[in-house]
Amino acid sequence: MPLLIEKSTSSRLLRAAMRPTLCALLVFSIFGKATPAQEPAAQHAQAVTPLANLLEEAEKNNPEIEAARQGWQATKQVPAQVSTLPDPQFQIQQFSVGSPRPFAGYTNSNFAYIGVGVSQDIPYPGKLRLRSEIAKREADVSQQQLESVRRSVLADVKAVYFRLAYLAKTLTILESDGELLKQVEQAADARYRSGMGTQQDVLQAQLQKTKLVREIAMHHLEVGKLEAQLKQLLNRPQDSSDIEPADLTETPLPQAYDELLAAAKSQNPELAASQKMIDKQSLQVDLARKDFYPDFNVQYMWQRTDPTQFRAYYMLTFGVRVPIYRGHKQRPELAQAQAEQLHARSEFEALSHQLASELRAQYVTAQQTAELLKIHREGLSPQSRSEFQAGLAAYQSNKQDFQAVLTAFLDVLHLDEDYWQNLAEYETAIARLEQMTGLALR
Dist. CA 166–CA 236, nearest whole Å: 22
Backbone torsions φ then ψ of 95, nearest 5 degrees: -115, 120
Quick check: is 190 in a domain? no
Do the Cβ atoms of 235 and 157 come closer than 8 Å? Answer: no
Quick check: is 5 in a domain? no
Cβ contacts of 300 within 8 Å, gap of 6 or more? 117, 118, 119, 314, 315, 316, 317
Number of domains the chain contains: 2
Predicted confidence band of residue 380 (pLDDT cuts 50, 70, 90): confident
Is 319 in the same domain as 428? no
The average pLDDT across 261-285 equals 95
Domain boundary at 300, 326, 352, which? 326
Is 368 in the same domain as 298? no
What are the Cα distances from residue 101, in Å, to 51, 212, 355? 81, 100, 75
Pairing of strands 295-304, 313-321: antiparallel
Euclidean distance between the first and the last CA atom of the chain, given in angstroms as a whole number: 70
Quick check: is 231 in a domain? yes
**In the predicted model, what is the mean pLDDT of the chain?**
83
**Between 51 and 409, where is the model more confident?**
51
| The residue type at 289 | R
Dist. CA 133–CA 142, nearest whole Å: 14
pLDDT at 22 over 60: no
Is 137 in the same domain as 167? yes
Beta bridge partners of 99: none
Is 269 in the same domain as 356? yes
pLDDT at 17 over 70: no
Do the Cβ atoms of 13 and 200 come closer than 8 Å? Answer: no
What are the Cα distances from residue 67, in Å, to 113, 144, 177? 57, 13, 47
Is 413 in the same domain as 269? yes
Is 175 in the same domain as 322? no
Do the Cβ atoms of 349 and 269 come closer than 8 Å? Answer: no
Is 79 in the same domain as 95? no
The average pLDDT across 151-158 equals 96
pLDDT at 138 over 70: yes
Is 164 in the same domain as 236? yes
pLDDT tens figures, 394-421: 767 666 666 776 777 777 777 888 888 8
Most confident among 27-36, 47-56, 397-406 (mean pLDDT):
47-56
Is 371 in the same domain as 385? yes
Is 321 in the same domain as 386? no
Quick check: is 1 in a domain? no
Quick check: pTM over 0.85?
no
The DSSP secondary-structure symbol of 97 reads S
- Which residues in 402-415 are b (16+ Cβ under 10 Å) and which e? beebbebbbbbbeb
**Between 341 and 202, where is the model more confident?**
341
Looking at 123-137, 241-255, 276-290, 407-421, which range is the least confident one?
407-421
Dist. CA 177–CA 172, nearest whole Å: 8
Quick check: is 256 in a domain? yes
Is 250 in the same domain as 388? yes
Quick check: is 421 in a domain? yes
pLDDT at 433 over 50: yes
Dist. CA 369–CA 419, nearest whole Å: 10
Domain residues for 350? 46-85+126-182+221-290+329-437
The CATH number given to whatever domain includes residue 414 is 1.20.1600.10
Predicted confidence band of residue 430 (pLDDT cuts 50, 70, 90): very high
Domain boundary at 307, 326, 345, which? 326
Quick check: is 36 in a domain? no
- Which residues in 196-231 are b (16+ Cβ under 10 Å) and which e? ebebebbbbbbebbeebbeebeebeeebeebbebbb
Do the Cβ atoms of 289 and 334 come closer than 8 Å? Answer: yes
Quick check: is 321 in a domain? yes
**Pick from 202, 204, 210: nearest CA to 178:** 210
Cβ contacts of 210 within 8 Å, gap of 6 or more? 23, 27
Question: What phi-psi label fits residue 235: left (phi over 0), alpha (psi between -120 and 50 degrees) or beta?
Answer: left
Dist. CA 34–CA 423, nearest whole Å: 29
**Pick from 155, 90, 78: nearest CA to 118:** 90
Is 55 in the same domain as 172? yes
